[in-house]
Amino acid sequence: MRRTLALALILSVAGSILAFDQFYIILRGGPRNQTLTAVYWIFNQSFVSFKLGYGAALSMVLLVILVALSLIQLRLLRQPEGVD
């Protein structure tokens, strides 16, 4: 089960970190930016304030964070030696 669990966990954690649609549609990040997500922040910086370079830099930081998180989860859920 470990492999299945690892896959499901990584997919759902990455999916929730990348949440955007629901926040944009229902709350627009309001009230007073309390419901901004990471992707929403990037979106605001790049396409509302038009700081495209800053937005691209933020995107890369988010990418690094996500890869690191996925690797940590893979590590924690690694198959023990000798078990198939």
- Subset of residues 28 to 67 that bind other proteins, contact rule: CB under 8 A: 39, 42-43, 46-47, 52, 55-56, 58-60, 62-63, 66-67
Q: Classify 47 as helix, strand or coil.
A: helix
Compare residues 33 and 63 and give the one whose CB is closer to other proteins. 63
Distance CA 52, CA 67 (A): 23
Residues 6+ apart with CB under 8 A from 74: 6, 10
Distance CA 6, CA 29 (A): 31
* Least spacing, CB of residue 7 vs other proteins, in Å: 11
- The two three-digit tokens of residue 71, written as one number: 């690797």
* Least spacing, CB of residue 34 vs other proteins, in Å: 19
**Which residues make up the interface to other proteins (CB under 8 A)?**
14, 18, 20-21, 24-25, 39, 42-43, 46-47, 52, 55-56, 58-60, 62-63, 66-67, 70
